[in-house]
Amino acid sequence: MNFEANLLPKFKFITKLYNGGTTLSLAYASSCARQIFKNGKSSRCFSTSEYNLVQQERIVDWNRAVSDAEKIVGYPTSYLTLRSLFSDEMSNLAVHLRKLVGTSHPLLKTAKKLVYNGKNNIQTRGLIILLLSKAAGNIHEKVLEQDIPEGVSHNQRSLAEIIEMIHASQLIHKGVVNLCPPVCSDETTLTDMTFGNKIAILSGDYLLANACTGLAALNNSRVVELVSNAISDLTEAEFIGKHDALDNSLPSSDITIEDWEQKRFLSAGSLLANSCQGAVLLAGHGEDKQKVAFEFGKLLSFAWQVHSELQPFLDPYSHPPGTPFDLTSAPVVLHFTKERQKKCGGESVKAIMDIVNSSAESIENCDFEQIYNLILKGSGVVEAKSLCSDYKDAALKTLKSIQPSEARTALENIVNALAQ
């Protein structure tokens, strides 16, 4: 019995490595398996540092794909948002932001993500737009001859920067804290949170105002309409579904993957899809190519979202069991769906909803470790991985209608980097 107990976590670890799909993962998993059968129950076939090495390689693969893509468009994505952030107005706000150091205001985490956020680099959206612009080509060749030599027009670069600013402003605005008793337990905390909210609102409004000014400068009413629709969708997404007192999303027992797709499209997919369509429109392409660009942006966004939402269940070292995660994420939704289909009537769903409903006004009081374990016992994680793969394959399929090029290959590499 002790022998089986010792081997079980190691076999789970090997399975996780094989599912990773990288050369290092497969080779190291084989090595682990040989060592287990060689040494038996006393074997120590892996360590935290060794597992982190595998995880690091996945991040390197993503960073390599992004780095190679930046070379193709001749424009580092980090410059997109930073150029807007390093203005006199934002510098003044940064001085005030330093006063929040030492507090728990979420604006500090958002500010960090604006500079670097590991594998889920928020600045990659602008890079996607630039790559798609170059891959699709520009019908207005005379404009390009007088413009930037990398095959991307000045207006398309401006659109990429505008989208980065809109996304950054949304993240900053989402950091506004609801000043309710659970958060502001004393006068000092209330003062800190109030000040942080003021900075979040001002800085988010500044970026959004700059984005709107740049959008008007494009002198293209159709692109303005597309981006305006995306901004409207971002706002609408905040009012879909149930929320607790701190505005955290709450699950419902009858939630479906269609509900998930609707909210994720409004909150993330619409901005990328409409901006991809706008970039192709600025190049002078017709409706057919614009539809391809829109569909690619939407599918890539879905794959990106599922991949991000899977991390709490696939990366226990970065997300230890018990760490809060989105209770409306794809693995949770698919777990609910599969459990409802069982003859027993979805006892796991009822157990999770009881935990959520007993957490008073904030889901931060939930027993996330118990929910985590219930999800792992079901098929939600496996189904989510399959869903991510489906979105990835569909996104790659849409790219086939674009002529082969370095830019298209770079887009394919970025999409493939999302593979589980």
- Which sign does the torsion angle of CA 265, 270, 271, 275 carry? positive
- Which of 382, 316, 309 minimizes the C-alpha distance to 9? 316
What was the pLDDT predicted at 11? 45
pLDDT digits (tens, 9 = 90+) for 275-291: 999 999 998 899 999 99
Q: Which two tokens stand for residue 326?
A: 């989105």
Q: Which CATH architecture has domain 47-416?
A: Orthogonal Bundle (1.10)
What was the pLDDT predicted at 391? 96
Residue 212 or 189, more confident: 212
pLDDT digits (tens, 9 = 90+) for 251-284: 998 999 999 999 999 999 999 999 999 999 998 8
Judge whether residue 325 has pLDDT over 60.
Answer: yes
What was the pLDDT predicted at 327? 92
What was the pLDDT predicted at 330? 95
The one-character DSSP state at 242 is E
pLDDT digits (tens, 9 = 90+) for 91-118: 665 565 665 665 666 666 666 666 555 4
What was the pLDDT predicted at 22? 40
Judge whether residue 317 has pLDDT over 50.
Answer: yes
Residue 368 or 49, more confident: 368
Burial 315-349 (b: 16+ CB within 10 A, else e): bbeeeeeeeebbbbbbbbbbbbbbbeeeeeebebb
Judge whether residue 40 has pLDDT over 50.
Answer: no
**Quick check: 302 and 221 in contact, CB under 8 A?**
no
DSSP H stretches of helix in 283-405: 287-314, 330-340, 347-357, 368-377, 380-399
Q: Which of 30-39, 198-207, 307-316 has the highest mean pLDDT?
A: 307-316
What was the pLDDT predicted at 107? 67
Residue 398 or 143, more confident: 398
pLDDT digits (tens, 9 = 90+) for 138-167: 776 555 444 555 678 888 988 998 998 898
Cα 158 to the center of its chain, rounded Å: 23
Average pLDDT of the residues of the chain: 77
Mean predicted confidence (pLDDT) in 59-76: 68
Q: Percent of the chain beyond pLDDT 90?
A: 35
What was the pLDDT predicted at 90? 57
What was the pLDDT predicted at 60? 46
What was the pLDDT predicted at 20? 45
Q: Which residues pair with 249 in a beta bridge?
A: 243
Judge whether residue 66 has pLDDT over 90.
Answer: no
The one-character DSSP state at 100 is G
pTM of the shown model: 0.78
Q: What angle do CA 21, 373, 362 make, to 5 degrees?
A: 115
What was the pLDDT predicted at 119? 47
What was the pLDDT predicted at 43? 39
Residues near 366 by Cβ (< 8 Å), separated by ≥ 6? 324, 327, 355, 356, 359
What was the pLDDT predicted at 80? 47
